[in-house]
């Protein structure tokens, strides 16, 4: 089935027997069987960069499940790795999540606050004979680990006594050893077919300051050990992560079981969201920012949540997008055009439709009285009467868009050309009687005459015209900068060049510095959104927009080549 619009989707969903995704089916089963009596999820980003559209999927999934099951949603920074983390990302991440509408209430946690519990958990494993301090070098550990086809070999330090391990681990904590000199390893099975189970490292020595705990610790837990403990401490029931952790699940289960947590959490994996024609890799984005090719991490051509927001996407459109993507176990990628479809659907009946001329040419209406100004009543959005109407001024001099005039039109060009008559939207019929060019051959001025009988809404039926074009009063229009965007890379042409660099689209940004907008934008604030008729949806740039120098980003054009899959 092909959905026409958002309402239809919602309606169809309401009328369909509820179809549940595989995660909901697992949760339902857990609740029925009594494994859990409630649902608690979490979103656990590492504060080492900006969140992108893929994270949005994870956030909305986790938050959505908590809501649906009347459960709890934890916001947790997984900040156990002191090398990469930066405080600045903590606030940008929280801002993005809040904007998306996921509410963690008072449930904001930092994994680094559990370092003490994690240390005690490691001691417990040692006491149970399930962990040991190993002196092998990193290279030796790799060698001993074996391969996918060969089992690993036991470390010569594997059979140290509990007492010796406790002493050595305490020494590790007390800073007696250099980085890499000793590690703590889980004692599981060096011949396991799953390499993650071959005595994985769970603690390492790292003499590094941490953004939260400073120099208090010189040993840090590894992700596969820390993450299940964080979930268990917080009482998370369903720990949802992406597919690459599937092979780590036996270790996750081993950790929570050996540590004897009552009601241990369950890990569930789903496929990451991949998008075509965008760039999500942190390394690439960093390069683009450093090379000045994009205007920061929130450049509207990127798909960080901050960038999508700045471009003009709404939380509702992102929610619709991730719902359409669905939750699955198989990897696939979704085109950017689907996200564009969602924002059109969200804005089309919500936002006023104004007239804006992006690339202006002046039109002089020779027979219109010099001093006269008429104010036309114009409905703001024909699909949404509640949005009311506004007054649009008209006078002898107006601007129209350059592409709405041609000296020598091809067949089927119904817009303005010498001798042709068109309707000025919401105003009169005008006929082109003359035009002027500059020394370079560019048309700089068009002369028309108007027919006062043809005023819009007057019921005129004398004759018809085939073209209707938009316009802005030259005397009243507000000058603005307009930014148009295309995909930053085109995957069909190859995302990467032979040398591994990005194959960038040189036309990804077009700046139009002399656009004119009808004057009904006095009260516009950064982030306000509109349709500019025939041009698309636009958003007042959240960083650069001012009343004195308005800047609008095109979110998306009106045309779409995208149709929803059946």
In the complex, the residues that contact ligand ATP under the rule CB under 6 A are 44-46, 48, 54-55, 57-58, 241-242, 272-273
Instruction: Kindly tell me which of 85 and 199 has the beta carbon lying closer to ligand ATP.
Output: 85
Q: Nearest to ligand ATP by Cβ — which residue?
A: 54
CB of 274 to ligand ATP, least distance (A): 7
CB of 55 to ligand ATP, least distance (A): 5
CB of 476 to ligand ATP, least distance (A): 47
Q: From residue 387, how far is each of 384, 471, 518 by CA, in Å?
A: 6, 21, 17
Instruction: Kindly tell me which of 125 and 275 has the beta carbon lying closer to ligand ATP.
Output: 275
CB of 278 to ligand ATP, least distance (A): 11
The Cα 327–Cα 323 span in angstroms is 8
Instruction: Kindly tell me which of 246 and 490 has the beta carbon lying closer to ligand ATP.
Output: 246
Q: Decide: 39 and 71 in contact? Cβ < 8 Å.
A: yes
Instruction: Kindly tell me which of 46 and 253 has the beta carbon lying closer to ligand ATP.
Output: 46
Instruction: Kindly tell me which of 89 and 471 has the beta carbon lying closer to ligand ATP.
Output: 89
Instruction: Kindly tell me which of 167 and 272 has the beta carbon lying closer to ligand ATP.
Output: 272
- 315-325 and 336-347 are packed helices; what angle lies between their axes, rounded to 10 degrees? 130
Instruction: Kindly tell me which of 171 and 242 has the beta carbon lying closer to ligand ATP.
Output: 242
CB of 272 to ligand ATP, least distance (A): 4
CB of 537 to ligand ATP, least distance (A): 26
| Cβ atoms < 10 Å from Cβ of 476 | 17
CB of 431 to ligand ATP, least distance (A): 56
**Cβ-count burial 67-84 (b if 16+ within 10 Å, e if not):** eebebbbbbbbbbbbbee
Q: What string of DSSP letters covers 52-79?
A: BHHHHHHHHHHHHHHHHTT-EEEEEE--
Place of tokens 């070098």: 137
Place of tokens 């006269």: 372
- What DSSP designation does 146 have? -
For strand 478-485 and strand 509-517, is the pairing parallel, antiparallel, or unpaired? Answer: antiparallel
Strands of 183-186's sheet in order across: 131-134, 183-186, 201-205, 219-221
Question: Which of 510, 509, 531, 511 has its CA nearest to residue 520?
Answer: 531
CB of 72 to ligand ATP, least distance (A): 17
CB of 53 to ligand ATP, least distance (A): 8
Instruction: Kindly tell me which of 57 and 311 has the beta carbon lying closer to ligand ATP.
Output: 57
Residue 275: phi, psi to the nearest 5? Answer: -120, 145
Q: Decide: 202 and 232 in contact? Cβ < 8 Å.
A: no
The Cα 364–Cα 400 span in angstroms is 10
Instruction: Kindly tell me which of 339 and 432 has the beta carbon lying closer to ligand ATP.
Output: 339
Reduced to 3 states (helix: H, G, I; strand: E, B; else coil), residue 94 is helix
Q: Decide: 160 and 130 in contact? Cβ < 8 Å.
A: no
């Amino acid at each position: 089935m092909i959905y026409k619009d958002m309402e239809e989707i919602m309606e169809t969903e309401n009328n369909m027997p509820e179809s549940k995704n595989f995660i909901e089916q697992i949760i339902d089963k857990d609740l029925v069987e009594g494994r859990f009596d409630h649902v608690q999820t979490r979103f656990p980003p590492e504060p080492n960069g900006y969140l992108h559209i893929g994270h949005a999927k994870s956030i909305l999934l986790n938050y959505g499940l908590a809501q649906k099951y009347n459960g709890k949603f934890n916001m947790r920074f997984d900040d156990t790795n002191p090398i990469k983390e930066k405080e600045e990302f903590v606030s940008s991440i929280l801002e993005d999540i809040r904007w998306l509408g996921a509410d963690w209430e008072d449930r904001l946690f930092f994994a680094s606050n559990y370092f003490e519990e994690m240390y005690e958990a490691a001691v417990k494993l040692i006491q149970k004979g399930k962990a040991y301090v190993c002196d092998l070098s990193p290279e030796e550990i790799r060698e001993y680990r074996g391969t996918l086809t060969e089992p690993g070999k036991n470390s010569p330090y594997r059979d140290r006594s509990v007492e010796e391990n406790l002493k050595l681990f305490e020494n590790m904590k007390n800073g007696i050893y250099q980085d890499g000199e000793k590690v703590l390893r889980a004692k599981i099975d060096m011949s396991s077919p799953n390499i993650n189970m071959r005595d994985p490292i769970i603690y390492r020595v790292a003499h590094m300051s941490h953004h939260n705990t400073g120099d208090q610790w010189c040993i840090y837990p590894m992700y596969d050990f820390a993450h299940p403990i964080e979930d268990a401490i917080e009482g998370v029931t369903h720990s949802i992560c992406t597919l690459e952790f599937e092979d780590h699940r036996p270790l996750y289960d081993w950790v929570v079981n050996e540590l004897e947590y009552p009601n241990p959490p369950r890990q569930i994996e789903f496929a990451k969201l991949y998008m075509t024609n965008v760039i999500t890799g942190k390394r690439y984005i960093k390069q683009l920012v450093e090379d000045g090719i994009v205007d920061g991490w929130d450049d509207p051509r990127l798909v960080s949540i901050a960038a999508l927001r700045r471009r003009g996407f709404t939380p509702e459109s992102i929610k619709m997008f991730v719902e359409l993507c669905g939750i699955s176990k198989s990897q696939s990628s979704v085109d950017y055009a689907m996200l564009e479809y969602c924002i059109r659907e969200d804005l089309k009946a919500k936002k006023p439709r104004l007239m804006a001329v992006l690339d202006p040419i002046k039109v002089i209406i020779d027979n219109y009285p010099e001093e006269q100004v008429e104010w036309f009543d114009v409905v703001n959005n024909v699909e949404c009467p509640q949005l009311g109407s506004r007054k649009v001024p008209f006078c002898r001099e107006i601007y129209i868009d350059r592409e709405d005039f041609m000296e020598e039109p091809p067949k089927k060009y119904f817009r303005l050309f010498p001798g042709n008559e068109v309707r000025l939207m919401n105003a009169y019929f005008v006929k082109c009687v003359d035009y002027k060019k500059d020394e370079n051959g560019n048309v700089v001025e068009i002369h028309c005459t108007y027919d006062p009988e043809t005023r819009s809404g007057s019921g005129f039926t004398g004759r018809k015209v085939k073209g209707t074009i938009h316009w802005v009063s030259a005397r009243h229009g507000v000058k603005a900068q307009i930014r148009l965007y295309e995909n930053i890379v085109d995957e069909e042409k190859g995302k990467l060049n032979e040398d591994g660099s990005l194959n960038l689209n040189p036309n990804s940004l077009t700046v139009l510095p002399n656009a004119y907008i009808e004057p009904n934008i006095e009260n516009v604030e950064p982030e306000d959104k509109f349709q500019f008729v025939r041009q698309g949806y636009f958003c007042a740039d959240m960083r650069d927009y001012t009343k004195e120098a308005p800047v609008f980003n095109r979110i998306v054009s009106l045309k779409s080549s995208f149709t929803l899959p059946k």
